[in-house]
Structure 1
């Protein structure tokens, strides 16, 4: 009898052990199935968190400039360069160009894009007190080989005034090079007409072709709205201004010397000519006075 009781008790204990083991195995299996799900949720949450952090940085970067409105009309130095090389009065050597860009960076000048310059003139406001607009006329090849590396080194913005029919000439920028510069965010391209002719010597129809076709070329190929015309050799007349306005240009740049102000006229803005061989003191004076 005691033997039977002992056998029954052993059987019950064995069954309980088996049952507990099954329950434990089921629990482990359940947890193993849930863990990848939890890990996936955590991964998604981590990615969301990272995305939010990136967005915050982007917003902060885009909104750190608070444009300041001024009572008096803004006067902006628009620097006029051409070739970044040596040889004549229109060619500024790379060493001088780098020294001048380094000065702008060290002295905390903000370099405007074309759209920002237009905004400044339209709203009579600036992103900060010390600003400058760097322009290079004619789109020489050395704008890509010499000027562009310097602009990237100091993270400065410049505008290149492009002669659209010159894109196949060996000493001028190709369209591919222009796109590379544009995609960097440090260079924008504006019109310097199709053939670089003196506009004031042309008929109304030919002037219209020069202004309209160059704008269309840049708009189509660079996927933009070209808003500025830079007159070849600074030559223009009232017909040029009327056509520029009609075709959708917002401003026009001349070779008249001085700081740019809308009092000069939206299509008659002055610039600061940078000559080869000037010293730092002269460069500083040009930034302040325009001459």
Structure 2
């Protein structure tokens, strides 16, 4: 799970309250990370391949992996995309549709080019609001976030969109022992099903590296921490790779 593939801007480096350092992996380090997975023999797969394997025992290559990128920043196009292609890899990019083309965000033509060259696209809502909280206030508004973002992606990119990513993991990031949190999760997942999504990725809040077909709307990911060295990245990945 990645966010920015870029250097941390100077103003953010100087700001101890900025979130950019923790979310930014430099292009150099990202390329080295892709070298690492290549050396280990990993092959990228699509979510269609993942679900085929989960539901129907479909074939997978040796050491399958999915690289995902949240928020649709412009460096997804300028940095992540060419580095992935240079390594023969694909990636899933979760797009905040209401921000496409804004300063610092990728444009529709850039996303179309990425899609045409083997990248995958999914929804990250219209405006990155906490979806569980939206559902609590208005299930209709939550449905709009899901349906409209999917429709906009399909209209602009001319492809079927079936995958979703929860902004900040909400509502899965709440204490699931609380009835209100359970209601939010059940409500949002019901809307995901009704609006045509077949899978959804979580912001990694659970210490799990396993996945099965019973939880298609809770696909686990491993967050890549920004501003770390290649060695610390390898140390972090050690429990998960072979």
Specify the alignment match of 1:86 in structure 2: 7
2-structure distance, mates of 1:255, 1:130: 22
- Counterpart selection for 1:206 from 123, 141, 147: 141
2-structure distance, mates of 1:281, 1:134: 16
1-structure distance, mates of 2:39, 2:212: 29
Give the count of matched residue pairs. Answer: 209
Specify the alignment match of 1:193 in structure 2: 125
CA RMSD of aligned residues (A): 1.7
Correspondences of 1:91-170 after superposition (within 5 Å): 91-170=24-103
Q: Any unmatched runs of 5+ in structure 1?
A: 1-79
Q: Any unmatched runs of 5+ in structure 2?
A: 9-20, 172-184
1-structure distance, mates of 2:114, 2:58: 27
Seen in structure 2, the aligned counterparts of structure 1 residues 193 and 119 have a Cα distance that, compared at 3 Å, is same
Alignment partner of 2:194: what SS? helix
Deviation string, structure 1 residues 47-102 (Cα, Å, up to 9, x no partner) = xxxxxxxxxxxxxxxxxxxxxxxxxxxxxxxxx00010233111111111111111
Query: Normalising by structure 1, what TM-score?
Result: 0.68
- Counterpart selection for 2:155 from 220, 240, 244: 220
Give yes or no for contact 2:44–2:66 (8 Å, CA) kept in 1: yes
Superposed displacement of residue 125, structure 1: 3.9
Seen in structure 2, the aligned counterparts of structure 1 residues 215 and 127 have a Cα distance that, compared at 3 Å, is same
Superposed displacement of residue 166, structure 1: 0.7
1-structure distance, mates of 2:97, 2:239: 30
Give yes or no for contact 2:200–2:218 (8 Å, CA) kept in 1: yes
Q: Which has the larger radius of gyration?
A: 1
Give yes or no for contact 1:207–1:240 (8 Å, CA) kept in 2: yes
Specify the alignment match of 2:241 in structure 1: 288
2-structure distance, mates of 1:288, 1:123: 24
Alignment partner of 1:269: what SS? coil
1-structure distance, mates of 2:93, 2:234: 26
Superposed displacement of residue 177, structure 1: 0.3
- Counterpart selection for 2:113 from 180, 184, 196: 180
Structure 1 or 2: more helix by fraction? 1
